[in-house]
């Protein structure tokens, strides 16, 4: 999502988008700090524990995650080393992930976002801090293609999107970052500065509706419970710094975010 889309708990970041006939009802969570191949499924419409969905191609952590209405995608990550694998599964049936293609390079600590047709993966640490964004067409398997560059190279960042616009939030360079970048998902090109988080932080969780994006938790040299929000908008819409939304139940970092038409999870 996620969502902070990388470290240890990954979601497909299933965001509500206006071009979907109906929002998806569940989210997928995969990978953890100890390196795991387990995928859990959460029902977004009811409270309760997750259920087993299937397995990753290989045990991993620090992946990017993307979801359309029908398909979930995980990309990159860290197994015994950094990985360039992109893997996917159709939501309609339980089961293990299948090979989708490959990233431009091995990478971990990267973030993913998408709409109903395209997924965009940004940043990460393929051997040094990266500003690279790359994209896939979610419905068609194949390798990723260069999209453009972030305004600031960073890893362990968050990402979220509505149908039109995507945000990359915070992250780590040589220090924590407060930068929010935005892109128009349907048009390749470099990211543009959107504004700033309430504090410089890494390992945050992000999620969005069609109008608003939430960024929760993270580490700004201390683990925080703050939830920030921005009006995500569409092409040509206003940009700006975050506003306080509220607090998580407890401070946490290295978490993930996902949302449907009713609310978000972190």
Cβ neighbour number for residue 127 with a 10 Å cutoff: 10
How many residues can be counted in the chain?
266
Residue 240 covered by a domain: yes
pLDDT at residue 166 in the model = 95
CB 147, CB 134: distance < 8 Å: yes
Does some domain include residue 162? Answer: yes
In a domain, 4, yes or no: no
SS3 112: strand
Domain count, the chain: 1
What's the pTM? 0.84
C-alpha distance from residue 180 to each of 23, 96, 123, 135, 167 (Å): 26, 34, 13, 19, 7
Residue 5 lies in a domain: no
The answer to the question of residue 167 being in a domain is yes
pLDDT in tens, the chain (266 residues): 344 443 333 343 444 344 444 544 677 777 766 678 888 776 666 665 666 778 899 888 888 999 888 888 999 998 889 999 999 988 777 889 999 999 999 999 999 999 989 999 999 999 999 999 999 999 999 999 999 999 999 999 999 999 999 999 999 999 999 999 999 999 999 999 999 999 999 988 888 888 889 998 888 888 888 899 999 988 777 899 999 989 877 766 566 655 555 555 54
- The per-residue pLDDT for 98 is 95
CA distance 120 to 137: 9
2, part of any domain: no
Let me know if residue 93 belongs to a domain: yes
* CATH code at position 27: 2.120.10.80
| 187 within domain boundaries | yes
As a whole number of Å, the end-to-end CA separation of the chain is: 10
- Residues 152 and 154: their CA atoms lie apart, in Å, by 6
Domain that holds residue 109: 10-265
pLDDT score recorded for residue 39: 83
């Amino acid at each position: 999502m996620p969502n902070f889309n990388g470290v240890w708990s990954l979601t497909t970041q299933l965001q509500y988008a206006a071009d979907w006939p109906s929002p998806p009802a569940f989210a997928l969570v995969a990978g953890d700090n100890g390196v795991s191949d387990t995928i859990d499924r959460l029902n977004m419409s009811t409270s309760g524990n997750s259920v087993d969905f299937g397995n990753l191609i290989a045990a991993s952590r620090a992946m990017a995650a993307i979801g359309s209405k029908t398909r979930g995608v995980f990309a990159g990550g860290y197994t015994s080393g950094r990985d360039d694998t992109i893997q996917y599964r159709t939501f309609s049936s339980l089961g293990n992930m299948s090979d989708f293609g490959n990233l431009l390079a091995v990478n971990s600590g990267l973030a993913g976002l998408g709409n109903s047709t395209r997924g965009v993966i940004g940043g990460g640490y393929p051997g040094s801090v990266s500003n690279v964004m790359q994209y896939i067409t979610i419905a068609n398997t194949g390798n990723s293609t260069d999209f453009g560059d972030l305004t600031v190279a960073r890893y362990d960042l968050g990402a979220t999107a509505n149908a039109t616009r995507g945000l990359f939030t915070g992250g780590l360079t040589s220090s924590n970052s407060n930068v929010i970048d935005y892109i128009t998902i349907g048009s390749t090109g470099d990211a543009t500065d959107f504004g700033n988080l309430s504090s410089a932080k890494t390992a945050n969780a992000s999620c969005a509706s069609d109008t608003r994006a939430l960024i929760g938790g993270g580490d700004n040299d201390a683990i925080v419970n703050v939830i920030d929000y921005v009006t995500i908008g569409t092409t040509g819409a206003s940009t700006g710094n975050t506003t306080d939304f509220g607090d998580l139940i407890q401070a946490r970092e290295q978490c993930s975010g996902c949302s449907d038409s009713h609310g978000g999870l972190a």
